[in-house]
Amino acid sequence: MARVVVIEDDPDQQEILRYNLGAAGHQVRIVPTGAEGLRVAYEERPDIVLLDLTLPDMPGTEVCEQLKSVGAMRKTRVIIVSAKGEEIDRVVGFELGADDYVVKPFSVRELLLRMRAVMGLAQPSQTVKAVAFGNLQLDQDAHRVWVDGAEVVLTALEFRLLATLCDRKERVQSRDRLLVDVWGVEPGGDDRRVDSHVRRLREKLGSAGKHVQTLRGIGYRFSAAAGE
């Protein structure tokens, strides 16, 4: 069960989410504005925020950015749920730190699966949990990453993506494979969320971002020896 804050002003969508999330065993709090959503999220520290982009008082992108800029909210996952389904909308959402992006109208089953994925409830891999590669250190049990001794704050999906690539170091991972294993969803269409998250992950890792390599037209690979 997760504690979920839904920031959504449409009454029909509110009821759909209230009913289905409640039926799935989640604790749901629904608020209609961005300002109230921020206040409730800061006070209650939910596991997941489901965020619409079109709100009556402020853009959902601003809400997402504010949530992701507060260190105390680092464990809260943000899933954008929006009718804006263009690639640029999804890319902007991911670049602002959203952990996932679901386009309306959505399948309730898919939304629940994506919530499960961002909460890290998929079966964990049996791997060594603490590793170091040059100036990059990763502790999977503590869910922490350091570069040159300074801690880097990653979202849940960014961390899961990095950990998956590290676990499979030197092996190429296709975008479709990463969608299944990291996001917990089946690939379909022109899905660019992997590219957006890899780009943001590299930016956050700074000089250690060189370990995450792109194989054009194929996928991504974590190189333990990069830069040595």
pLDDT digits (tens, 9 = 90+) for 99-118: 889 999 888 988 998 898 88
- How many of the other CB atoms lie within 10 Å of CB of 185? 16
Burial of 222 (0-12, 13-18, 19+ CB in 10 A): buried
Supply the pLDDT for residue 198.
Answer: 93
Supply the pLDDT for residue 123.
Answer: 43
Report the alpha-carbon distance of residue 27 to residue 29 in Å, rounded: 7
Architecture of the domain whose range is 130-222: Orthogonal Bundle (1.10)
Region 3-118: CATH code: 3.40.50.2300
- Containing 27, the helix (H) or strand (E) segment is strand 27-31
In the chain, domain spans: 3-118, 130-222
Given a cut of 50, the residues of the chain with pLDDT beneath it are 121-128
The answer to whether domain 3-118 and domain 130-222 are alike in fold is no
Q: For residue range 2-19, what is the model confidence (pLDDT) as tens digits?
A: 999 999 999 999 999 999
Q: How many CA atoms lie within 13 A of 209 on its CB side?
A: 14
Crossing angle between the packed helical segments 34-44 and 60-68, to the nearest 10 degrees = 20
**14, 52 in Cβ contact below 8 A?**
no
- How many of the other CB atoms lie within 10 Å of CB of 72? 8
